[in-house]
């Protein structure tokens, strides 16, 4: 695989996308964190209010 280091080639599953040793992995962790925070906020805005 072109452009991948030997260490990155060993990673499989979620650890391949969400690792802390590459810039792309750290960016994916940040994106996932922002997405979860956004979903929590959206859920709290949309859910019906208790009476």
Q: CA-CA distance, 1 to 6, in Å (whole number)?
A: 10
pLDDT of amino acid 17: 82
pLDDT of amino acid 5: 59
Residue 24's CB is within 10 A of a number of other CB atoms, namely 12
Q: What is the model's pTM?
A: 0.68
Q: What does the pLDDT look like over 1-51, one tens digit per residue?
A: 455 555 556 878 878 888 888 888 899 999 999 999 999 999 999 988 887
> Which stretches of the chain are assigned E, i.e. beta strand?
none
Q: CA-CA distance, 35 to 16, in Å (whole number)?
A: 19
pLDDT of amino acid 45: 93
Q: With contact defined as beta carbons under 8 Å apart, do 25 and 19 qualify? A: yes
Helices (runs of H) and strands (runs of E) counted in the chain: 3, 0
């Amino acid at each position: 695989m072109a452009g991948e280091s030997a260490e990155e080639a060993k990673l499989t599953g979620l650890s391949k996308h969400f690792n802390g040793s590459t810039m792309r992995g750290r960016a994916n962790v940040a994106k996932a964190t922002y997405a979860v925070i956004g979903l929590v906020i959206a859920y709290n805005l949309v859910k019906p209010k208790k009476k």
